[in-house]
Every structure is written in structure tokens, then in C-alpha cells.
Amino acid sequence: MLRQIFSGSFSFYDVVAYLVAVLLIIFLILPFHEWAHAFVAYLLGDKEAKSRGRLTLNPISHIDIVGALAMIFVGFGWAKPVPINPNNFKKPKLGMALCALAGPVANLLAAYVGLIIYYILDRAFPSFFYLNDMINSFFVFYASCNVSLAVFNFIPIPPLDGSKILFAFLPYKAIAFMTKYETIFSLALIFLIFTGGLSTVLGFATNGIFNFLSNMALSPVRFFAELF
């Protein structure tokens, strides 16, 4: 992202819109992502996150400084992991998978709501939106960042959420192996990110899901616009 900003491919308004969107994600959406993990764990019988003050939307309880900086400069960030004890679930593997799934789903929901708000405002104030590139850019950045975070977290590599979803379908020996070498998997993931090894796949998935959510958000707005 910094490369695009310093190369001049982003206008001043794009930069402002991007920073506002990213700050909103850091202080609102990342906490929402972690709260979703904690909430599902609580529903399934695990009180660990609640006892540690993580069943909250308060950003102070969730923000990780390094993850926040990565969100600003790289476009992928994280918050403090929510403590979950799978032994408190009736079905540990299924419980962990559902808790893990809640985070990316929270990001997709946030993107969808943002797109609905965008289309409603666009219909209500078309001339204002047409003239204000910064507002358009803000909603695009906000929604696309959320979709990117969801897609990124769906990667089935430890410690990402996708790995815990994958664990629901693996035998315990395979889970133990992946958990034992989690550090190596994490370093490999970081290497792939910074070398662009995942860019094509992640970009394709992000664009596809973004377009799908955009169409899903536009359809009800069009329907109600025709009624009124």
C-alpha cells in the first residue's frame, strides 16, 4: 500500500479515505472480529474469553500495536488473539471451527453493511456522491479491506482462522503435527505474503467476494428504491 501511495497512483483524497477506512477497521472492525470469536465461544459454553475481559467491543481490550501498524502499512493486520479453551466444548473440534469461522464472517458482514450504507446514500444523494471522490474511495477501501481480512483469515495455515476450520476435518495426529510446527507455518506464510506468492490467489478471491457482496447489497436498495 505504501508503494502505491508514494508512487503517486493514489490521489490525496484516496490517501485520506484509505487512512480513515483503516482506522475505522483497527478501532471498530478488528475488535468486532475478536468479539465474534469470544461470543460464539461463550454461546458454546467456554467462558475463558469473558473471564479475561475479551467479550467486549472495547478496542483497548483487543488492539495489538504491531497488528495495527501492519494494517496501515501492509493492508493485513490483526488484533490480540481471543483465548478459547476447546475442552469446554461438547465437541471440541466443531466448537473451535465455529469460533474460528465467526471472525471472518464478522468481516464479511461488516463489508456487506458498509456497501448497503454506500448504496443507500448514493441513491439518496447522487449528485453529492458523484462529486465527492473521497467518500466513494472510503467505502471501496472499507469494504475491500474487510473482504481481504476475511479471505486472508480463511487461509488454512496456523495460526489463521482457516486452520482451525480445517482441523474439524482432520484426525488429531494431523492437528498435533500442524500445531507443533505452527511457527514454521507462520514464517512460511509471512514469506509468501512479502514475496507476493499469495497475491494472485488472494486477489482473485477478494475481487470475487467483493463483487458478490456488492451485488447482494445493491439488490435490496434497488428493490426499495423502485417501491418508493
The predicted-structure confidence for 16-58, as pLDDT tens digits, reads as follows: 888 999 999 999 999 999 999 999 999 999 999 999 999 999 9
Concatenating the DSSP letter of every residue in 176-189 gives HHHHHTHHHHHHHH
**Catalytic residue selected from 34, 48, 182, 226:** 34
Q: What percent of the chain has pLDDT over 90?
A: 60
* 30 half-sphere exposure, CB direction, 13 A CA radius: 28
**pLDDT exceeds 90 at position 209:** yes
Per-residue confidence (pLDDT) for residue 130, from 0 to 100: 55
pLDDT-based confidence at residue 131 (cuts at 50, 70, 90): low
Q: What is the pLDDT of residues 103-120, one digit of tens each?
A: 999 999 999 999 999 998
56: which DSSP letter?
A: S
Per-residue confidence (pLDDT) for residue 93, from 0 to 100: 94
**pLDDT exceeds 70 at position 6:** no
Residue 193, all three cell numbers: 505474503
What's the chain's average pLDDT?
Answer: 88
pLDDT-based confidence at residue 13 (cuts at 50, 70, 90): confident
Answer yes or no: 34 catalytic: yes
Pick from 18, 47, 53, 12: nearest CA to 142:
18
pLDDT-based confidence at residue 77 (cuts at 50, 70, 90): confident
